[in-house]
């Protein structure tokens, strides 16, 4: 069933905890997740509805996704609506949360009350494509796997052997700025190698890309950093 699985980290192993699955009627179409050091959890839902209604909401880009929040054993709706909630990312000090609104081609930044966990909207970052998962390169540089085509991505998910979808990586050099700017730094136009990328991880001078459907990673050179002025 739908929920959040909780594991104990032991060395390099993940050990399932007894009764470690968190469930709630608010967890409908979970996509992104972020957790704090004190055990609070944020989960993005693509749609606030499950089942066929939720899938239809995603097809037609209905503005009924959300971000829910787990605290002190209780789930609550924290942000609503979000048009197709996707990747979530906390700042290292947990004072800010970034939320990818896939169907809007936007990433929203929220100020987080570290005491109560409440979120206040700060900034909307416009993108040229649809953002999937978002990760830190080196804080405050944010990296997002993005999808240039909404419908082509949907066709690939439905019929992956028949349809490829373009992949791209967007970078925000300073996601904490007053007016952050996103730029496409990697683009794979044919989609034959990576179709479509769902997560981009920067490690040193390499970028590793995962895919929604296919079972391998791509290893790419990291984009060059602009020269310092």
Q: Is the pTM of this model over 0.85?
A: yes
Q: Say how far apart CA 97 and CA 95 lie, in whole Å.
A: 7
Contact between 121 and 175 under an 8 Å Cβ cutoff? The reply is no
- Read off the tokens for 127: 């993108």
* pLDDT tens series, the chain, 229 aa: 789 999 999 999 999 888 889 999 999 999 999 999 999 999 999 998 776 765 656 655 668 899 999 999 999 999 999 999 999 999 999 999 999 999 999 999 999 998 888 999 999 999 999 999 999 999 999 999 999 999 898 888 888 888 999 999 999 999 999 999 999 999 888 888 888 899 999 998 999 999 998 888 989 888 876 543 3
Nearest to 79 by CA among 55, 56, 106, 60: 106
Find tokens 């730029």 and name the residue: 183
> What distance, in Å, lies between the first and last C-alpha atoms of the chain?
53
Strand spans (E) along 25-128: 30-35, 41-45, 65-71, 74-82, 85-90, 96-101, 106-112, 119-126
Scanning 11-139, the segments in alpha helix (DSSP H) are 51-59
């Amino acid at each position: 069933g739908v929920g959040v699985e909780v594991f104990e980290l032991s060395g390099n192993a993940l050990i399932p905890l007894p009764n470690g699955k968190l469930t709630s009627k608010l967890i409908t179409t979970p996509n992104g997740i972020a957790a704090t050091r004190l055990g609070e959890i944020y989960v993005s839902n693509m749609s606030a509805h499950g089942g066929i209604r939720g899938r239809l909401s995603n097809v037609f880009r209905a503005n009924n996704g959300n971000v829910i929040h787990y605290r002190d054993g209780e789930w609550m709706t924290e942000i609503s609506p979000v048009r197709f909630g996707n990747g979530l990312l906390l700042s290292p000090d947990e004072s800010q949360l970034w939320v990818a609104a896939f169907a809007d081609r936007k990433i929203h930044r929220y100020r987080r009350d570290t005491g109560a966990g409440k979120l206040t909207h700060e900034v909307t970052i416009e993108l040229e494509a649809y953002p999937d998962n978002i990760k830190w390169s080196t804080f405050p540089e944010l990296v997002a796997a993005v999808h240039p085509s909404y419908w082509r991505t949907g066709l690939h998910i439905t019929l992956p052997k028949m349809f490829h979808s373009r992949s791209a990586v967007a970078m925000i050099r300073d996601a904490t700025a007053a007016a952050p700017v996103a730029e496409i730094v990697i683009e794979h136009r044919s989609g034959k190698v990576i179709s479509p990328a769902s997560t981009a991880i920067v490690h040193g001078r390499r970028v590793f890309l995962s895919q929604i459907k296919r079972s391998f990673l791509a290893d790419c050179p990291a984009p060059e950093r602009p020269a310092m002025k």
